[in-house]
A = this chain, B = another copy of it.
Amino acid sequence: MFEFDDKPHDECGVFGIFAPGRQVARMTFFGLYALQHRGQESAGIVTSDGIVAHQHKGMGLVAQVFNEDNLAPLEGHLAIGHTRYSTTGSAKLRNAQPYLIETINGPLGVSHNGNLTNALDLRRQLLERGVGLSSTTDSEAITQILAAPPAIWGEAHNPQNGADIWVSRIRGLMRVAQGAYTLAILTRHAVYGVRDPLGLRPLCIGELDGGGHVIASESCALETIGAHYVREVEPGEIVRLDTSGITSIRGMIPERKRALCIFEFVYFARPDSRLDDAVVHEVRQQMGRRLAQEAPVEADAVIGVPDSATPHSIGYAAESGIVYTEGLTKNRYIGRTFIQPDDDLRQVGVQLKYNALTANLQGKRVIMIDDSIVRGNTCGPLVQLLREAGASEVHVRVASPPVRHPCFMGIDMATYNELIASNMDIEGIRQHIGADSLYYLSLPGMVGAVQEVVGGDQGYCNACFSGTYPIDIPEWLFEEDRSKLFFEGVWGT
């Protein structure tokens, strides 16, 4: 598979809905459609009609996986959905989500976004209990943990009279799971939204006119189906969507400060989504403004690396007073191709995907804004492209700090080796990419930009920039080979 891209990849988008009288599978389809940017490898929907659960999932984009024929049997009044990006080669149907299993308390469907840092431990515990696992994912481990009597995982076995057995189970899971997990869970009668106590991955709640509620990884999915944004699910919180509407339940008291992945603001989330009550686009503009303050340079035009760096560029342009324009175009029919360029075409390089807009560059001093640099394979060729198109100077400004540390909470940058800023200093990178100047937004600058828009410090994970992880990471994960192992999943021990 060929991708000319220097972006990290998130692992998933999750969605849940409880809406009697509505076509919940269809609404989930459109919700997933809005979350497509969070994963393009597989998609799936599980519904419940109060007795039986129905399921369809497949490989590919949401619009490829579903058609009217396979949507029709997904009956019911509650549903969850999932769209997945796999961090590794294990792009197989058996890893597609949601998972659906039968438990002693009826059907259980699970959609998961995030990565557990103790996934191998949990898998081993399950295997030792004699539970066979049919995939290589931590998400299946989560599902099987939820299927077990909560006492096994240290939770009171019998919920008090009338209490919700599923809440006990989810609490049992939260007791043992380490790392990032945002979940949409479907049972026979209810949908649950769960966010890990660090709140590493986002999840928000929406309300439908005429009744019914929705949860989604990002608020853009709410707006797409006409739901009103209510609020975010809190770190450690469980919300239940059922006939009583929305019920908030304490899942776990967070022991540490919230640590929402700040990369959601930098790159992952759709610019029109709302995080911490701020629209992401606005935060990105503010990052651009801070970048302009920190690293001004005399120039004739500000351009962004399309499409993701446009908001940052608009902010930079506004703050610097230098005109914003487009200097690069990208083939808008993105979508992975499995055709490999041959050697000659490989020399063509970034032009397979990007073209320069000569008229806007000719003889100009250009500031090229990127939202982030991870592996550093794209930036240099783009600088070269701009120069060939006539740019007299190319100043690269990156709207986030250097990515120097691997992530183990769900983003596919798992080793020091692959990170350019972990292996070169800034001046080295500048020479490597051939820019006239290079500047990364400072960590305080990035964090400050977020805080200015959201209003205060709500707590963010910036481990990939700072090396300060919000949870203890097992030593072995930092070793090159073991971490690969971790990401690929393995058959047993």
Contact B282 A359, beta carbon cutoff 8 Å: yes
Q: How close is A330's CB to chain B, nearest CB, in angstroms?
A: 9
Complex: how many Å from CA A149 to CA B128?
8
Contact B492 A102 (CB under 8 A): yes
Is A357 part of the binding interface, using a Cβ–Cβ cutoff of 8 Å?
yes
Question: Which residues from B are CB-within-8-Å of A53?
Answer: 491
Instruction: Note all chain B residues with C-beta closer than 8 A to A147.
Output: 127, 130-132
Q: Which B residues are in CB contact (< 8 Å) with A124? A: 104
Q: What 0/1 readout, one digit per residue, does chain A (304-343) give for beta carbons within 8 Å of chain B?
A: 0001001100100010000111100101111111111110
Most chain-B Cβ atoms within 10 A of its Cβ — which of A34, A136, A226, A333?
A333
Closest Cβ of chain B to A20, distance in Å, is: 13
Among B30, B67, B329, B345, point to the contact of A338 (Cβ < 8 A).
B67
Counting CB contacts under 8 A, is A29 at the interface? yes
CA–CA, A127 to B356, complex, Å? 48
Cβ contacts under 8 Å, A23 to chain B: 342, 344
Per-position binary interface string of chain A over residues 19-55, scored 1 when its CB falls under 8 Å from any chain B CB and 0 otherwise: 0001100110110011011001000000000001100
Q: Among the interface residues A324, A336, A347, which one has the most CB atoms of the partner chain B within 10 A?
A: A324
Q: Contact mask A404-430 → B, CB, 8 Å, 1/0?
A: 000000000000000000000000000
Residues of B within 8 A of A239 (CB): none
Q: Report A124 CB to chain B, min CB distance, Å.
A: 7
Q: Pick the residue among B22, B66, B131, B314 that contacts A339 (CB under 8 A).
A: B66
- Determine if A134 and B132 form an interchain contact, defined as CB atoms under 8 angstroms apart: no
Instruction: Output the least CB separation between A226 and chain B (Å).
Output: 4
Could you say which of B271, B285, B314 contacts A329, with CB atoms under 8 Å apart? B271
- A: residues with CB less than 8 A from B are 22-23, 26-27, 29-30, 33-34, 36-37, 40, 52-53, 61-64, 66-68, 71, 99-108, 123-124, 127-134, 136, 143-144, 146-149, 152, 210, 220, 223-226, 270-272, 278-279, 281-282, 285, 307, 310-311, 314, 318, 323-326, 329, 331-342, 344-345, 347-348, 351-352, 355-360, 491-493
Q: A226-B344, A272-B356, A279-B359 known; 10 other A-B pairs, CB under 8 Å?
A: A30-B339, A30-B341, A66-B339, A68-B339, A104-B493, A131-B148, A132-B144, A225-B348, A314-B325, A324-B324
With A134-B100, A342-B26 as given contacts, are A281 and B333 in contact (CB-CB < 8 Å)?
Answer: no
Supposing A68-B340, A272-B356, A335-B61 touch, asked if A348 and B132 sit within 8 A by C-beta, the answer is: no
Beta-carbon contact of B100 and A360 below 8 Å: no
Contacts of A220 in B (CB 8 A): 329, 355
Whether A281 and B102, one on each chain, are in contact in the complex, defined by CB atoms closer than 8 angstroms, is no
Bound: A331/B272 CA distance, A: 10
Q: How far is the CA of A351 from the CA of B220 in the complex (A)?
A: 9
Chain B: minimal CB distance from A456 (Å)? 17
Per the bound structure, the CA–CA distance linking A71 and B225 in Å amounts to 36
Bound-state CA distance A329–B284 (Å) is 14
- Chain B residue contacts of A310, Cβ below 8 A: 326
Residues of chain B lying within 8 A (CB to CB) of residue A340: 68
Q: Is A149 a contact partner of B130 (Cβ separation < 8 A)?
A: yes
| B contact residues around A71 at 8 Å (CB) | 339
- Residues of chain B within 8 A (CB-CB) of A285 are 325, 359-360
Query: What are 7 sample pairs from A and B whose C-beta atoms fall under 8 A apart?
Result: A63-B337, A101-B132, A105-B492, A106-B492, A210-B344, A220-B329, A281-B360
Kindly list chain B residues whose C-beta atoms are within 8 Å of the C-beta of A101: 132-134
How many Å lie between the Cα of A152 and that of B129 in the bound state? 10
Contact of A152 with B130 at beta-carbon distance under 8 Å, contacts A272-B356, A272-B357, A336-B63 already known: yes
What CA separation (Å) do A29 and B2 show in the bound complex?
13
Given known A-B contacts A127-B103, A133-B101, A492-B102, A339 and B63 have beta carbons under 8 A apart = yes
Residue in B closest to A136 when the chains form the complex, CB atoms: B102
In the complex, are the beta carbons of A271 and B357 less than 8 A apart?
yes
With A134-B134, A272-B356, A351-B224 in contact, is A22–B344 under 8 Å at CB? yes
A134 to B55, CA, bound (A): 11
A225–B342 alpha-carbon span in the complex (Å)? 11
> In the assembled complex, which residues on chain B have CB atoms less than 8 Å from the CB atom of A103?
127, 130, 132, 492
Chain B residues with CB under 8 Å of A34's CB are: 331
Task: Point out the residues of chain B lying under 8 angstroms from A37, CB to CB.
Answer: 332-333
